[in-house]
């Protein structure tokens, strides 16, 4: 009961605040404008990527997220930005779209939270056209042993507070294990961000 109330009323605002720091907004600017054609945003959340879409390159956007509350926040942001988005209120493990229908999959700060990313990536692959790309930007496991030690220690509690978010996932390995080819990969600690949550991986991958 308390958990349900927390997830409905507090968590959406908490995620929106934590995911809109200046360094994270700067990361979005590097990735989101590359989206083209028919776009599927996985874990659209409160819609923090919406202002960064390059409208002239977009044919259609689907925003998928299992949280009705977050989709409602994203809907308002889309309206304010005059961007039409079709919302799919569901997890990425089951995407109600035809196979081979998507040109760009955008996924930011969400592979950390999807309970079984391999299942989700299989389904994502199904809806991607043969020449489609995944644009990703995620936080994950750090390159320093001492930071990883703390990531592993804090992860169970972190997940409880932040809707199932994991701070220690190996993002490139998750993509490659699911059969994606990483074409571009950048990584660094974000400035002004605690190192346990600040190591970012971003780039693009194809099937
Ligand atoms: C940290 S938030 C990031 C939101 C947004 N992508 C951003 O960049 O601000 C993680 C998001 O993953 C979503 N999520 C959780 N489980 C999911 C699943 N199985 N499939 C897709 N999204 C999921 C959550 O509802 C939440 O919106």
pLDDT 10s per residue in the chain (207 long)?
A: 888 999 998 999 999 999 999 999 999 999 999 999 999 999 999 999 999 999 999 999 999 999 999 999 999 999 999 999 999 999 999 999 999 999 999 999 999 999 999 999 999 999 999 999 999 999 999 999 999 999 999 999 999 999 999 999 999 999 999 999 999 999 999 999 999 999 999 999 999
Cβ of 121 closer than 6 Å to ligand 1, yes or no, is no
Q: How far apart are CA 119 and CA 171, in angstroms?
A: 15
Q: What is the position in ligand 1's atom list of the atom closest to the CA of 24?
A: 8
Residues making up the chain, counted from first to last: 207
Instruction: Give the whole-angstrom CA distance, residue 57 versus residue 68.
Output: 28
Q: Is 117 near ligand 1, meaning CB less than 6 Å away?
A: no
What domains are defined for the chain? 2-206 (3.40.50.150)
CA-CA distance, 164 to 166, in Å (whole number)?
Answer: 6
Q: Whose CA is nearest to atom 17 of ligand 1?
A: 114
Query: CA-CA distances (angstroms) from residue 133 to 11, 31, 57, 60, 107?
Result: 30, 12, 14, 15, 11
In whole angstroms, what is the distance from residue 125 CA to residue 127 CA?
6
Cross-strand partners of 199: 189
- pTM (2 d.p.): 0.98
Would you state the pLDDT for residue 1?
A: 80
């Amino acid at each position: 009961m308390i958990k349900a109330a927390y997830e409905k009323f507090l968590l959406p605002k908490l995620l929106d605040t934590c995911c809109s720091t200046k360094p994270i907004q700067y990361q979005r600017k590097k990735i989101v404008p590359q989206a083209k054609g028919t776009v599927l945003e996985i874990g659209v959340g409160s819609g923090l990527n919406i202002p960064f879409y390059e409208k002239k390159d977009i044919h259609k956007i689907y925003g998928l997220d299992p949280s009705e509350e977050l989709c409602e926040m994203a809907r308002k942001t889309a309206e304010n930005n005059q961007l039409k988005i079709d919302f799919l209120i569901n997890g990425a493990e089951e995407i109600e779209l035809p196979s081979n229908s998507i040109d760009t999959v955008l996924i930011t700060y969400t592979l950390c939270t999807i309970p079984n990313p391999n299942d989700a990536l299989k389904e994502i692959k199904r809806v991607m056209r043969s020449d489609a790309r995944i644009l990703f930007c995620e936080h994950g496991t750090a390159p320093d042993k001492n930071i990883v030690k703390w990531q592993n220690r804090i992860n169970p509690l972190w997940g409880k507070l932040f809707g199932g978010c994991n701070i220690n996932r190996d993002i490139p390995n998750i993509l490659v294990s699911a059969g994606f080819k990483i074409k571009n990969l950048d990584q660094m600690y974000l400035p002004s961000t605690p190192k346990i949550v600040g190591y970012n991986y971003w780039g693009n991958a194809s099937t």
